[in-house]
A and B are shown apart, each in its own frame.
Chain A
Amino acid sequence: MITTEDIIAKLEKRIHSFNDSGKKLNVGTVMKNTDGVITADGLSDVAMGEIVTFENGNSGVVLNLDEDTVSIILLGSQENLKEGNRVETTGKLLSINVSNEYLGRTINPLGNPLDGKPDIKGEKDMPLERIAPGVVEREPVNTPVKTGIKAIDAMIPIGRGQRELIIGDRGLGKTAIAIDTIINQRIQEKGHKRVICIYVAIGQKRSTVAQIVNKLKEEKALPYTIIVVADASDPASFQYLAPYAGCAIAEYFMEKGEDVLIVYDDLTKHAWAYRQLSLVLRRPAGREAYPGDVFYLHSRLLERAVKLNKEGHGSITALPIIETQAGDISAYIPTNVISITDGQIFLEADLFNSGIRPAINVGNSVSRVGGSAQTGGMKSVAGKMRLELAQYQELAAFAQFGSELDKETLTRLERGKRTIEIFKQAQYRPVAESLQIAIIWTVSNGHLDDIPLEEIQRFEEEFSQYLQTRHKKLLEDLGSGTKLTEPINQTMEKAVKDFKQLFHG
């Protein structure tokens, strides 16, 4: 228990360590306020990105240094801010005070809690803008981030330290993929570190964010997740800063040796917010009225996702989300972000409407890390999957002409249909890797060819339960990360045959 003497001793120690130095301030005067962007004169010594404080107690960040004036974006309310008010520099760059207490909390880009719980005690100031680690500090991506989504883990695998873009029209399940990935991190794989998740909501509706928070709470994913919110009703400055705040928090945990997954939902709205700020700042408008440095806006953010090679340091995996209009991935912002990231997961409306969910277009999706981010077991079963699906899709187009087909082609067609069927997956139902390997092995070895198409999903569900109750050892071997050996293949063969007998009644 802390006594009065302890408090006095601490204060005395502090006062003795105090060094008196005169104060030097750089001040200015507010000239105008345009939509949350303040123009002030004076402030001749201010630095770019420096925090300044106003007379009403609010703070702002300097974004433009003109010849005689300075443009500042407000980080608080505009109330009581008038022309002629004094502005002072602080000598500090914009940063967020982070600690472990952020886990499980919902905050705004300044680190203030939004979930009604007590204030968070910070430990270390992390700057929002930071230079990405250099080439020498990086390590190749070789550890998987398991999303629990069969189509992604099999054909578009994501590794720790990778940037994988999720792109598609509105309402196709982009956020659903991100949330399923976060939920799947609840299970810590043997031999791998836990993954801390950060979900950055930019320009979303508050109701949507509330639903996401509730879902994460229900699925027990909140204890290892931090939610940074700059919703649609927040000023453009908050929406602009939110991804950088999320990244600063991620870097705090990465430097402590943790692996972090960060979802930016979505960067299209982030670009819109930046466009709004830039137009108010009178910066020259370029293509689609975006400022000239809109590429740099996202590249400097996404380059901070890294796998460090230093001992005791972790990684940041980024899942940026981009919303397209009418499936146009050749628009300005989508092409920018595609060229920055290490792959994309492309969601298509036609697939969604025909019941294939997640609506991933495997042909247009890619992971540039590829097999390096897959375990031996998954690689051995799913290695040829993309090729087989591509062949099936070509054959299916050809079969529409109604000509007579040979037996082998028909078999391939039926197998392709069953492969697509097993890749369908309900939302919030991530599947463990061992079960994924089991079902993919089953379909690629032709064991589902005699199961009617409409029974495939039921087969899969019951087969998973069967393996979990009767073949725990087999599942352990499949999930061990090693390549499938002949004994495992034989055990799988027997398990499938036994189950099919039960299934058929």
Chain B
Amino acid sequence: MKQHMMKQLIAISYKNNKLDEKVVFKIACLLLRKDLKRYVRALKNYEKKRTVTVSLPSISRELIHKNEYLLKKIFPKKEILYKKDPLLMAGVRFSHHDTIFEMSLRNTLEQIAAHAGETDR
């Protein structure tokens, strides 16, 4: 199956910006195994592209509510998901498709350790 046909399948699998399970099931039954694998991978990629995952050390409704407008401005037309990650210690990490922006205490400490360990050039 060609690339543009796969993109068309992805497009029709969504209704009102949400995944239509009935359509997905119908398409899945009609595809050969190899194309089905590609279809599933393409769906996952599409979901990753339209979703931004915000990882925080602790999640509070007040924090979400306070920053929701700002996040929607930074990431327009994207669905924002919140995830708890205590390992960050403090700060935030944004994951969008294949790009990760991390501004956390853990990252700062790792960078300090790497910087201190560098030899003089």
Contacts and interface: CB of A to CB of B under 8 A. Distances in A.
B67 to A, nearest CB: 16
Interface in A100-132: 121, 123-124
Nearest to B95: A27
Contact of A24 (B101, B108, B116): B101
B112 A25 contact: no
Contacts of B97: 42, 44
B98 A43 contact: yes
B121 interface: yes
A502 interface: no
Contacts of B89: none
A27 B3 contact: no
A28 B112 contact: no
Contacts, number: 53
B81 interface: no
B115 interface: yes
B3 A28 contact: no
Interface in A461-502: none
Nearest to A123: B121
Interface residues of B, number: 19
A26 B118 CA distance: 23
Interface in B68-121: 97-103, 107-108, 111-112, 115-116, 118-119, 121
A25 B41 contact: no
Contacts of B108: 20
Contacts of B99: 24-27, 44-45
A27 B112 CA distance: 22
Nearest to B118: A14
Find the residue from B3, B41, B97, B98 having the highest chain A CB count within 10 A.
Answer: B98
A387 interface: no
A408 interface: no
Given A11-B116, A67-B3, A22 B98 contact: no
A23 B116 contact: no
B98 A28 contact: yes
A18 interface: yes
A14 B116 contact: yes
Interface string A1-37: 0000000000100110110111111111000000000
A110 B94 CA distance: 34
Given A23-B111, A41-B45, A124 B121 contact: yes
A18 B98 contact: no
B52 to A, nearest CB: 14
B112 A18 contact: yes
B116 A22 contact: no
Could you say which interface size class chain A belongs to?
Answer: 20 to 34
A41 B41 contact: yes
Contacts of A22: 101-103, 107
Give the most central of A15, A22, A27, A42: most B CB within 10 Å.
Answer: A22
Contacts of B112: 15, 18
B100 to A, nearest CB: 4
Contact of A23 (B45, B102, B118, B121): B102
A7 B45 CA distance: 49
Interface in A439-473: none
Contacts of A26: 98-100
Interface string B1-15: 001000000000000
A23 B99 CA distance: 10
A15 B116 contact: yes
A17 B41 CA distance: 45
Interface string A221-238: 000000000000000000
Contacts of B45: 41
Contacts of A23: 100-103, 107, 111
A14 B115 CA distance: 7
B91 to A, nearest CB: 9
Given A18-B115, A20-B108, A23-B111, A42 B98 contact: yes
Contacts of B107: 22-23
A455 to B, nearest CB: 62
Contacts of B103: 22-23
Given A15-B116, A41-B45, A124-B121, A20 B98 contact: no
Given A20-B108, A41-B41, A25 B102 contact: yes
B71 to A, nearest CB: 16
Given A41-B41, A41-B45, A67-B3, A18 B101 contact: no
A123 B98 CA distance: 34
Contacts of A67: 3
A80 to B, nearest CB: 22
A123 B121 CA distance: 7
A127 to B, nearest CB: 15
Nearest to A20: B108
Contacts of A121: 119
B101 A27 contact: no
Nearest to B45: A41
A11 B107 CA distance: 19
Nearest to A121: B119
Contact of B98 (A14, A15, A27, A124): A27
A413 B18 CA distance: 94
Contacts of A42: 97-98
B116 A27 contact: no
Contacts of B115: 14-15, 17-18
8 contacts: A15-B112, A18-B116, A20-B111, A21-B111, A22-B103, A26-B98, A27-B99, A45-B99
Given A25-B102, A26-B99, 13 more contacts: A11-B116, A15-B115, A18-B111, A18-B115, A20-B111, A22-B103, A23-B101, A23-B103, A24-B99, A27-B99, A27-B100, A28-B98, A41-B45
- 3 smallest beta-carbon distances between A and B, as pairs: A42-B98, A22-B103, A25-B100
